[in-house]
Structure 1
């Protein structure tokens, strides 16, 4: 274990302020590897768990901050829209140049910011605007963090509230607003710069509607409760639900497509932890059994 911890520190360029902190991080590292081992034994899909860049963080430190339960601001139900019954077996909006690069909600040297809700919503709006404009558009998470409803912050946030903010105020391009810093600042919008707005947001009640929507319209924002599995995820398709630790909350991400691997159906999900996590910043989650409540809080912008 000591050798593995040293390899972990070298691989991820980790350093600690003193020997006491290093000893504490080593203890957490050992506990996390045991949890990853248990998760691997429980996994009925093809997901692999082990050492990741988050292996020295406790579950409490690793909370990702999407508040999934319903709030007064509601998105419109998708049931009134005509969605196709016959859809392709494989869809990947990345291949159509409608998904921006994988971003990172944490900034080195800064306190953790549980802003996954902002990255999921902005990623969704980016893709739908890009589909409409036929040009890849990158928008600002920092603007949404600074200028949106104060209920959404670095402690956590509601994706529905964030979508409502974008519908009211719009978003600047990423290069037209100060860079992301993983903390909330005073709003610094430039009225002379163009903004991109959405008409509204819609909710999708289940995975069938989600698949139809992804096939016809574009990516979908989700919130899942398998955060402890994501902490140790290295690749493959997650099929087993989170059964052991319900205290770390929900994590918001973006479905950008779906497919099948050796008869195993899956969602292609974009995360916001950088390209050095998972499958180049992505995770695949089993499609069809509501793993991690993936179908309970699905929503999207309409441009």
Structure 2
């Protein structure tokens, strides 16, 4: 009986497992774009409510050409097909970028470096201060994911415990300072959470990728948030010092077309001109040739290196340090 089950399990696995090999290439055959597009649609169509049209195929084909060009020109990063490849740059920025307005520095608190001497490399995931990669979906809520990632990290670091997954949907629904799926700022989120009493667990207020009625429940607050503010960072050395001092930090950067199709390696961009996308800074390191920042995104594990980016350090790449925020938890 057990042997029969094993045979059936192997057989059904082989029948229903799809090989998406055409999506994972260093160079895409544009003349075979329709076959690549069909695999793309099979992988991402249902999850992202995509429509299979000639227009989308043409956009997809043009993006393949760009990806091929970037891969030829880059010696440290790789680019590839992901959930964005049938969208134009304007469509992506309109839907997924959730930090609105100019870089906010009027109320920022100047960070004075403490002269901390950290290790040669740092990865707060290894300390347990970072929750698994999440997916903001088709909602401009990156500000909520950056802010909640900061709160998760601050709490874990303060209490020397494993990070617990907190609710971004609570922010999208209840933060009256921000604009739901149309953007906001992480430091606004911290202020809102102070008023809410803190942050609920993800399991008690799951993510829906749309703004709805606020259902915050003070009896289910998992982490009490007592404050938070924007930090004015004057250099990348100061940013590293703040990362060592506080733990994972909410940040926002400029992005460009290359950013959306990043697949791995150290990203040294040439086109980061569009403000702004919120992320979580979780570490730094060196790959033997390049110093980099380690950044957690909220575009699922299909983007980047399982949801992470290594961004070139020392060149203000994508304006890193232009916006940094830090929460205070109890």
Q: TM-score range by the shorter chain?
A: 0.7 to 0.9
Give how far 1:4 is off. Answer: 2.1
User: In the aligned structure 2, how far is the partner of 1:32 from the partner of 1:2?
Assistant: 13
* Aligned mate of 1:172, from 200, 206, 214: 200
**Which sections of structure 1, spanning at least 5 residues, go unmatched?**
107-111
* Separation (CA, whole Å) in 2 of partners of 1:75 and 1:193: 31
Measured in 2, the distance between the counterparts of 1:279 and 1:71 equals: 29
Aligned to 2:179: 152
**Count of residues paired in the alignment:** 289
Q: Would you say the 8 A contact 2:187–2:230 is kept in 1?
A: no
| Closer, same or farther: CA 286–68 of 1 in aligned 2, 3 Å | farther
Q: Is 1:288 the counterpart of 2:317 in the alignment? A: no
Cα deviation, 1:279-299, whole Å, max 9, x if unaligned, reads: 111111001110010121122
2:111 paired residue number:
78
More deviation, 227-236/123-132:
227-236
Q: Deviations over 1:160-195 (max 9, x none)?
A: 322322344321122232x11111111111132234
SS in structure 2 at match of 1:38 = helix
Aligned to 1:274: 300
1:142: which partner in 2?
169
Relative to structure 1, is the Cα distance of residues 255 and 35 closer, same or farther in structure 2, using a 3 angstrom cutoff?
A: same
Q: CA deviation at 1:40?
A: 3.2
* Helix, strand or coil at the partner of 1:284: strand
Structure 2: how far apart are the matches of 1:225 and 1:292? 5
Larger radius of gyration: 2
The Cα of 1:47 is off from its aligned counterpart by 1.0
Cα 1:205–1:29 shift into 2, 3 Å = same
Distance 1:271 1:65 in 2: 13
| Aligned residue in 1 for 2:121 | 90
Please give the root-mean-square deviation of Cα atoms over the aligned residues, in Å. Answer: 2.3
Of Structure 1 and Structure 2, the greater helix share is in 2
Q: Secondary structure at the match of 1:120?
A: helix
Partner in structure 2 of residue 48 of structure 1: 78
Pairing 1:31–2:57 present: no
1:109 corresponds to? none
Quote the offset at 1:16 in angstroms: 7.9
Change (3 A) 1:197 1:206: same
SS at match of 1:199: strand
Assess if the C-alpha contact under 8 Å between 1:225 and 1:249 holds in 2: yes
Contact conserved, 1:68 with 1:297, CA < 8 A, in 2? no
The change in CA–CA distance for 1:302 and 1:202 in structure 2 (over 3 A counts) is: farther
Distance 1:38 1:205 in 2: 34
Match for 2:271 among 237, 242, 265?
A: 242
Structure 1's 182 and 3: CA in aligned 2 closer, same or farther, altered over 3 A? Answer: same
TM-score after normalising by structure 2: 0.80
Looking at structure 1, the residues matched to 242 and 292 of structure 2 have their Cα atoms a distance apart, in angstroms, of: 15
Unaligned segments of structure 2, at least 5 residues: 1-32
Measured in 2, the distance between the counterparts of 1:131 and 1:231 equals 31
Measured in 2, the distance between the counterparts of 1:164 and 1:116 equals 17
Aligned: 1:189 with 2:216: yes
Distance verdict in 2 for CA 1:90–1:250, change over 3 Å: same
- Listed as ranges, the matches of 1:60-139 within 5 Å are 60-63=90-93, 64-67=97-100, 69-71=102-104, 74-79=107-112, 83-106=114-137, 112-135=138-161, 136-139=163-166
Question: 1:227 deviation in Å?
Answer: 4.0
CA shift for structure 1 position 41: 4.4
